[in-house]
Amino acid sequence: MGDWGSEVNKGGLPFDGSPDSKPLHKVTLDSFFISKTPVTYAEFDIFTAAMRLPRINQDQAMQAYRKPDNPAGVTWQGATDYCAWLAKETKQPFALPTEAQWEYAARSGGKRYVYPTNNGESEPGKNLPSYEQRKAAGGLVAVASFPSNPAGIYHMSAGIHEWVHDWYDKDYYGQSPSKNPAGPATGDRRVTRGWAGSDSSAMTFKRWALSDRQPTGTWTFYPADRKKESKREIPYTKYSHYPDNAFRCVRLDR
C-alpha cells in the first residue's frame, strides 16, 4: 500500500511528491465486496425518505449537480449512516470502506496500477472525464460514464472525493498494522480518496484529508421567477455537503 514509484522509476523517484503516501508497506485484507459505483442521488434520496428527512443539497446552486445518476455529495456522517441503514435493511454487514479497502479496489486487487482506470493510465476524455466534459455536464458526470477498471469498478477517478472510514494522520503509514488497517483511533479530519482534478491527484495511492463539518444555518433561495416570488431563507438539510464529496459502501465476505 502506498507509493511504489521509488521501486520502478529511474533514479528512485516517487510518483507522488507528498509524504502522505509513504512509506510503502505491506497490507493483508480480509475479502470484501465493494459497490461498483458511488451512491447516487436517486439512491440517497430513498434513504432520506426512509428516515423521514428532507432531501440533501436543495439550494439552488446545487441543482446543476443534483441529478439522479450523479454521485451524492454528502457529509462523512451521512455516508456512514447510509451504509449502516443499508446493513440494517439487508441484514448484511455493509459499511464505509477503509482506506486500505478503497486502494485495493482502485488497484483492481492490489495490482500496481497508477490510475484506477481500464488500463491503469490517465486519458482524460477517454477513460476519465476531462475538465470540458465535467463543465458541460454541470460539474459532475453520471456514474459509469466511463469504462470500469479491470475489477469492474467505476468512477474512482471521475472528479470526486470519496469518503472512507479512516481518521487522517499524515504519519499513519509508518505505524499502520499489516492486517486490516482501519486508521488512527481519533482525529479531526477524515481521509478521502479518488479526486481527478489533475493527473497527479487522481493516482490510486493519493490521500486527502477533509473535515466533516457541514453547512449550518440557512441559504438564500432565489426563485426562477423573481417577479412572482420573493427570495427566502431555507435551512440546510441534514447530511448536505459539497457536491464532489461522495462515497460507496463495502460488504464483508462472511
What is the helix (H) or strand (E) element at residue 163, kind and residue range?
strand 161-167
Helices 76-90, 41-50: crossing angle, 10 deg rounding? 70
Count Cβ atoms within 10 A of the Cβ of residue 77 and give its class: 0-12 exposed, 13-18 middle, 19 or more buried.
Answer: middle
User: For every one of its 254 residues, what pLDDT tens digit does the chain have, with 9 covering 90 and above?
Assistant: 999 999 999 999 999 999 999 999 999 999 999 999 999 999 999 999 999 998 998 877 788 899 999 999 999 999 999 999 999 999 999 999 999 999 999 999 999 999 999 999 999 999 999 989 999 999 999 999 999 999 999 999 888 999 999 999 999 999 999 999 999 999 999 999 998 677 678 899 999 999 887 666 666 666 656 566 667 676 668 899 889 999 999 999 87
Q: Are 91 and 254 spatial neighbours (Cβ–Cβ below 8 Å)?
A: no
- Other C-beta atoms within 10 Å of 41: how many? 24
Cis peptide before 177 (omega within 30 of 0): no
Q: What global pTM score does this model have?
A: 0.91
Domains of the chain listed by start with CATH number? 5-252 (3.90.1580.10)
